Amino acid sequence: MSLDPTYLEYPRRALGYDHALYPYAPLPRRAPLAWPDGRRVAVWFTVSLEWFPITPSDTPFRAPGHMQTAYPDYRHYTSREYGTRMGFYRLLDAFDKVGAKVSVAVNAAIAQRYPQIIADILGAGHEIIAHSTDMNGTIASTLPVEQERALIEQSLATLEEATGRRPRGWHSIARSQSFATLDLLKEAGVDYCVDWANDEMPFAFNNGLVNIPLNHELSDRQIINVQQQSVDSYAQQVLDAHDWLNAEAQAQGGGRMLPLHITPYIIGLPYRMDTFERLLADLAARPDTWFARGCDIFDAFAANQG
Amino acid sequence: MREGSPDPELYEFQRYRARKPFAWPGGKKVAVWISPNLEYYEIDPPANPHRKSWARPHPDVVGYAHRDHANRVGHWRMADVMSKHGFPGSVSLSVALCQHHPDVVADANARGWEFFSHGIYNTRYSYGMDEAQERAIIEDSIRTVRDATGQTIRGWLAPALTHTPRTLDLIAEYGMDYTCDLYHDDQPFPVKVNKGRLLSMPYSLEVNDHYGFFIYNMSPRDYAQTLIRQYERLAAEESGTVMCIPLHSYLIGQPHRIGPFEEVLRHIAQDAGEGGRAWITRAGDIADAWYDAQEGGQ
C-alpha cells in the first residue's frame, strides 16, 4: 500500500498562505486601530433575519436551521417565523433601551415579504447587510459561478430596492463561500463581508474587499443550540470576552472588536430575553463599550487606512 | 506494534497499584507540560483515500478561517499568557508552518519552547503511506525544524493522529525519545519498538481543549475547572505523574476562553515553588527525568 506520489508534494509550501486571497499579518504586529472617542471595545451585534422556505434545497447544501422532518415541516417553518414575528421585535426593543445600533443580516426574501420589518429596522437606525436571497440561497464552490453571481446580484438588488440604498455588507449563509465569492462581492460593489472568522479586527483582502470578522464561536447558535449551554453561560462568556478585550486594548493600544452574532429564534425566546437584556445593560454600563454597526467599523478602518 | 494482531503489543501491562512511587526533580508530584498545537491546514489539500480533510467543499471558510485565527491572533495571545505565568510550550508542530509563517515558529523558539513533529500539514495524513513515504515525512520533519529553530525534534504526534503500523518503530529508529500518540497511562512508559527505545509521553485527549469544547461542549469556565480538578487529583496521588494540557490557540485563544484559562495557569503556578507539587516543564525534560528516576539513567 502506498499513496500517490503527489500526496507528498507541496507546491504551495512557501512564505505566506497557500492561497492569494489575503496577506498574512499577525494582529499584535499591526498598527493599532482606534475607535471613535477612544472607546476600547466595539460591541458589534449582527442579527440574522432569515426566511426558510418550507421546501428546502440541498443545492449546494442545506442551510443550518433549515427544515428537518418530512414535508411539510410545520415545526421548523413556524419556529423560524417565530423569530421574525416575535423574537426580532423583542430584540429591537432591547437594543432601543440601551441605544445600541446593530447590523441586521437580512435575506432579500424578508424585504419582499415583510416590508414593515425593513421600515422598522431602518427607522431605528440599524444597518441592513445582505444575507443572500432566502435560506435556500447557499453558496459553495459546487455552485456554478454564474448562478452565484446571479444570487448575489438578486440579493443586493432586492435589498437596494427595499431600503433605498445598496447594502455595504454581505453575510453568506453559514459563512460558506466559493473561491469566486470575494471577487463577485467586490464586482457587485460590496464594501465588506463578515464571513471569515480568522481575525478579530477588520482586514483587507488582496482584491480590496474588507473582511469584518464575525466570530462564529461566540454566537447564540454555537453556544446555546450546538453546545447546549445556558443563556446565563452565554452572557457570562460575552462579559468575560469583553473584560479580556478591554484589557488587551488598553495594553496594546487602539481598540478591539467584540462581534456578537445572534439569531431571533434562539436568543429571542421569552425565557432567554431577560438574561439577554441584562447582558445588554451590563455592556452599556461599561464605559469602554462602543455599540457599533458593521458600517461604522468599516468607516473607522477605512479612515485609518488613509 | 504487531500488525494485524488483535493485541497490537504496544507495551507491557502494568497495573497502577504496586508500581514503585517516584518523584520528579525537586520532589514534585506532577510534571505539568503544555502542548500548543501550532498547525497549518491547507485550504485545498489533495485527497487521502482513507480520510476526508474538510467537511465541506473547498474552501471550507469556517474550518480554514478558524485554524487561521491561531496564527494571526490566537497564538500570540495564548503564548503571552503562558509566558506570563512561567509555562514553556512543547510544540506539536505542522512543520510546514516553518515555511508559511516563520514568525510564529520564531516566537515560540524565542520563548524557549521545545518542538516535536505533528507531520508536514494537519491536512496530510499518514494513512496509506508506504515505508519510504513515511520515512520521507520523518526526515522532512527533522530537517525542517532543525533549519528553522536549531532544535532536533525528540518526539512525534502523528499528523491529525493518523498512524501506520510502522510509525513507532520508525521514529525510534530516527532517534526520537517519545510519542504522544498513546493514551493508556498518566506516567511515561516504554513502548515496544524494533530498534532503540521509545517512551510514551502522556498527552491527553480527555483534557485537550478540542475535546473540552467540541466533544464535551464545555463552557470556558467549566473547562478551566476541569483542568484544575485534573491537576489537584494527580497532585494528591502517591507517585509522580504527568499532566499534559494540549491546546489549540484558535480555541483557547478566543477572547471568551483565555481569561478563565489564565486562572488555571495561575492556580498551578502557585503550586510550583519551593515545597509545591507542580513541576512546570517540557516533554523532553520529562523523558530525561523519567529515565533518571527509573534507572538512574539508561
Please list the pLDDT of chain A residue by residue as tens digits (306 residues): 899 999 999 999 999 999 999 999 999 999 999 999 999 999 999 999 999 999 999 999 999 999 999 999 999 999 999 999 999 999 999 999 999 999 999 999 999 999 999 999 999 999 999 999 999 999 999 999 999 999 999 999 999 999 999 999 999 999 999 999 999 999 999 999 999 999 999 999 999 999 999 999 999 999 999 999 999 999 999 999 999 999 999 999 999 999 999 999 999 999 999 999 999 999 999 999 999 999 999 999 999 986
- Interchain CB distance below 8 Å, B62 and A176: yes
Q: What distance in Å separates the CA atoms of residue A76 and residue A252, rounded to the nearest whole number?
A: 46
Residue at A19 is within a domain:
no
Query: Per the structure block, which three cell numbers stand in for B23?
Result: 518523584
Which DSSP category does B89 fall into? B
* Chain B interface test: which of A203, A244, A256 (most B C-beta within 10 Å): A244
Is residue B16 situated within a structural domain? no
Question: Does the ipTM exceed 0.85?
Answer: yes
**What is the model's pLDDT at position B264?**
98
Cα separation of A182 and A76, whole Å? 32
How far is C-alpha B158 from the chain's CA centre? 10
B298, pLDDT greater than 60:
no
**Which pLDDT tens digit goes with each residue over B102-131?**
999 999 999 999 999 999 999 999 999 999
Q: Mean pLDDT in chain B?
A: 96
B-chain CB neighbours of A224 within 8 Å are none
Q: Nearest-CA distance from A175 to chain B in Å?
A: 7
* pLDDT tens profile A93-111: 999 999 999 999 999 999 9
Is B64 within 8 Å of A198 when comparing Cβ atoms?
A: yes
H or E element: which one contains A250? helix A231-252
What is the CA angle A161-A111-A268, rounded to 5? Answer: 145
B225-234 pLDDT per residue, tens: 999 999 999 9
Nearest to B115 by CA among B98, B137, B139: B98
- All cell numbers assigned to B244: 499534559
- Contact (CB<8Å) B46/A215: no
User: From CA A263, how far away is CA B63, in angstroms rounded?
Assistant: 21
- Give A60 to chain B, closest Cα distance, Å: 9
CATH for B128: 3.20.20.370
> 10 Å Cβ neighbour count for A284?
15
CA neighbor of A148 nearest in space, from A156, A157, A139: A139
Query: Is residue B160, in this structure, part of any structural domain at all?
Result: yes
Question: Would A29 be classed as within a structural domain?
Answer: no
Domain that holds residue A143: 34-305
- Position A24 in a domain: no
Q: Domain total for chain A?
A: 1
Start-to-end C-alpha separation, chain B: 23
CA torsion, points A183, A185, A191, A194, in degrees to nearest 10? -100
Domain count, chain B: 1
Measured in angstroms, the CA of B294 and the nearest CA of chain A are apart by: 40
The tens digit of pLDDT for each residue in A176-230 reads: 999 999 999 999 999 999 999 999 999 999 999 999 999 999 999 999 999 999 9
Report the pLDDT value the prediction gives residue B294, as an integer from 0 to 100: 82
CA angle B61, A65, A67 (to 5 degrees): 125
Residues of A in contact with B129 (CB under 8 A): 2-3
A16, A172, A176: residue with CB nearest B56: A176
Does B1 fall in a domain? no
CB contact under 8 A, A240 and B99: no
Q: Distance between alpha carbon A164 and the CA centroid of its chain, in Å?
A: 22
Select from B46, B69, B258 the Cβ nearest to the Cβ of A197: B69
The verdict on residue B96 lying in a domain is yes
B59, B73, B120: residue with CB nearest A200: B73
Q: By three-state DSSP, how is residue B216 classified? A: coil
**Confidence band of B92 (pLDDT split at 50, 70, 90):** very high
Angstrom distance (rounded) from CA B166 to CA B168: 6
Q: What is the CATH number of the domain that holds A47?
A: 3.20.20.370
Using CB atoms, pick whichever of A25, A142, A241 lies closest to residue B57. Answer: A142
Q: In the structure grid, which three cell numbers stand for residue B207, read together?
A: 483534557
Whole-number pLDDT of residue B296? 63
CA distances from B281 to A220, B149, B185 (A): 38, 19, 19
> Considering the domain boundaries, does residue A20 fall inside one?
no
CB A50 within 8 A of CB A56: no
Give the minimum alpha-carbon distance from A174 to chain B in angstroms, rounded to a whole number: 8
Cβ–Cβ under 8 Å, residues B146 and B168: no
Evaluate whether residue B9 is within a structural domain. no
Residue B209 sits in which domain range? 29-293
Q: Could you tell me the pTM of the whole model? A: 0.97
CB contact under 8 A, A177 and B260: no
Cross-strand bridge partners of residue B198: B191
- CA R_g for chain B: 19
The alpha-carbon gap from B17 to the nearest alpha carbon of chain A, in Å, equals: 38
